[in-house]
Amino acid sequence: MQIRDFLKPEGILIGCTASDKKSVLDTLVELHDRCGNLKNAAAYYEQILIREEQGTTAVGGATAIPHAQGSAVRRTGLCAMTLQEGIGWGAPDGGPVQLIFLIAAPDQGSEHLTVLSRLITMLMNKSIARALIRAESPEAFLAILEEEENTRRMEPHKIPMPSPRAFPPDWTGIQNVEFGAEQAFKSQDVYRILAVVSQSGGEGDVDNGYGYMAAQALHSAAAQLGVTIKIESRDREGVENLFTKREIEQAAAIVIVSDTPVDLARFDGKHLVRGSLGEGIRSGEKMLRRVLSDSAPVYHHNTPRQKNSPERGKREKRSAAGPQISNFLQEGAARVFPFYAAGGLLQLIGFLIDLFAGASYTASFGYTTPAAALFYTVGTILLSLALPVLSASIAQEMSGKWAFVPGFAGGCLAALGATVYRVAGGISSGLFGALLAGLAAGVLIKILQKLFAGAGEGISCFFYTFLGVLLTGAAVCGANPLAQGLYDGAALILDAASGSSQILVGAVLGACVALDMGGPLSQAAYAFGYAQEGGTALAAVTTAAMTVPLALALACVVFRGRFSSAARQNGPVNFLLGIGGIAEGGIPYAAAAPGRILPGCMVGGAVSGALAAAFACKASTAGGGILAIGAMTGWTYALLSVTVGAIIGMFLLGALGKVHAPQQDSRSAASPKKAAVLQQHSVL
């Protein structure tokens, strides 16, 4: 397997001009599409942009290797472009980029890791990158890569190898050490340098190629300098070669090579140098020399940077922890949305089957005919699994694969409303219970990883999973009585308000439905609605349930710049969930950013509920969305209530949303500059 198997002359553009990074990516995606490597070019382009938002793919030396892996890719492919003048790409060395390789990888397989590793290995030789930039044709470009690859594969004696290490090593000019060379090398438990290599990808992820190459570069640099090094690797799947407390105490220096946040508390008091994965690949030896020099900074955990400013240290700590938690929540929300989308649509199909079968609209609507019951039941199962999956995804994002099962178990207990006295039949803690379960499982697994760091892998895995389930379950069961308290408190407030204004009651019901979207407040609102004989309360609940997803869907369309590309992609599905009256469609958005999403949803739901009550709309049963509205007394006013509430919620969601950088239309066919470049260089 060689680079030539993935990169063809028709996939190479030479001497192009580009104004920015996105125009380059747009052209390369189009080139991949024309080479037949993609199933859905637009979806792949969005994946590329999402990956670029997570961190730069420039590796230094005027080179960038953007990449994405997903179902939009038909087969592993590689396209390349050289630029006449460099453009900014956020490179670790601060220089412009003139050489770009774009890797497309399908969901399954690991060929892309081989491609990435070989590319980075060859491009570590800066003369190769310069030769590729100067290539005058795609054939010449390929010939340079083939010659270098064959040289490395067939003639290893030509490859620069680390010089033999002298024993004992000569530390002159590097740093005065606290213990001698003989002590440093007499045991494998003593390492001069400890290095952490952390990447965002999981097992088989394309980003692992960067981590692998950074680790190899550091090993090679350590051999050149004659120092011992141990490398701890971190990704979404977990941690390998975790440092022991003794190793950290005896190490002279620490190197952090990562594009993701790393906990540095355990390295307090050590000489420490940090850099990106690209810097580790390109400048590994320079980083090691710096950390071993007298000028290397000493890391002090939680020490204020300015004298007499303890509050500043606290603020920096909070600001550093905030984005991490936000990332965990966003990842969990992204994984759980398909459960709500598929489950909600299946329930809607069940309603439609009963509707066309002529079933009467009662509380059992959706279960009347066998076909409807099948669809509705499967949809209900998916919706019931959504909260456990949300908890498990958050936990796994925080602490690796061993946190998935404790997070899932905690999510199940939160959904059941289990307590130490009662396993089932309690009040579900809903969204907030699931978030608590995920965060608790992630934190507990981190603690267990430190406690059992010295144990064997098999024993550690057992303790991580078993004790994680026990401790997370205890935390969730201990917190679940709060859900019962919220339910009882909401019921008391609603009962007290029932004798006053119906408009006020409708507003409170709508706000409860929108706030926790299936949690204790929402359950209390539905229970109160069914207990009222007039049906006005049920109408308020039904309209509010429709308002939440519809407001989010409208906000994603009208205020595109306030939502990420992933959130915008899910917007159209929320139109259907809103029609079906499934308020849970807003949970993924609320889970990712509760402070920005919940206020708009609450106000929109409260307005819908208040208007439905003001118009004296009446419903005999809740659920079914637009079907329930069609069966209401005063259904036109109910529809108006939903519309007004959704529009008001949309404006609030837009006002509170986070501003994102504008993105080009992924398939802007009316891009004459891009089309001209492709036409000029294409050989198809």
Q: Which two tokens stand for residue 615?
A: 């118009």
Q: Other CB atoms closer than 10 Å to residue 149's CB: what's the count?
A: 17
pLDDT tens column, 168-183: 444 444 444 333 333 3
CATH placement of domain 3-158:
3.40.930.10
pLDDT digits (tens, 9 = 90+) for 581-612: 888 878 888 877 888 888 989 999 999 999 99
Beta-carbon neighbour count of residue 420 at 10 Å?
11
**249 has a pLDDT exceeding 60:** yes
Residue 32: the pLDDT is 92
What is the DSSP code (8-state) at residue 425? S
DSSP symbols for 531-564:
H-SSSHHHHHHHHHHHHHHHHHHHHHHHTGGGS-
Once rounded to an integer, what is the mean pLDDT over residues 530-545? 82
Look at residue 363 in the predicted model and tell me its pLDDT: 62
Q: What is the layout of strands, in order, in the sheet containing 253-258?
A: 238-240, 229-235, 193-198, 253-258, 271-275
Residue 516 three-state SS: helix
Angle between helices 430-451 and 310-356 (to 10 degrees): 130
Q: Is residue 262 scored above 80 in pLDDT?
A: yes
Compute the radius of gyration of the chain from its Cα atoms: 29
Sign of the four-CA dihedral 428, 429, 435, 436: negative
pLDDT band at 155 (very low <50, low <70, confident <90, very high): very low
**Per-residue pLDDT tens over the stretch 102-153:** 999 888 766 777 777 777 777 777 788 889 999 999 999 998 888 887 776 5
Structure tokens at 432: 């907030």
pLDDT(424) > 70 = no
What pLDDT band is residue 209 in, cutting at 50, 70 and 90?
low
- By mean pLDDT, which of 262-266, 325-329, 526-530, 636-640 is the weakest? 325-329
Check residue 152 and give its pLDDT: 61
The answer to whether 135 touches 144, Cβ cutoff 8 Å, is yes
Mean pLDDT of 29-41: 90
Identify the pLDDT of residue 14.
Answer: 93
By percentage, how much of the chain surpasses pLDDT 90?
13
What pLDDT score does 82 carry? 93
The residue ranges of every structural domain in the chain are: 3-158, 181-291, 324-479, 493-656
The helix (H) or strand (E) run that includes residue 105 is strand 97-105
H/E segment holding residue 456: none
The CA-CA-CA angle for residues 387, 390, 394, to 5°, reads 145
What is the token pair recorded at 202?
């999981």
Q: Provide mean pLDDT across the span 12-27.
A: 90
Q: Looking at residue 533, what is its pLDDT?
A: 63
User: Cα 581–424–514 angle (5° rounding)?
Assistant: 25
What are the residues facing 68 on neighbouring strands?
A: 104
Tokens of 518: 């299936």
Q: Does domain 181-291 have CATH number 3.40.50.2300?
A: yes
Two domains, one topology: 3-158 and 181-291? no
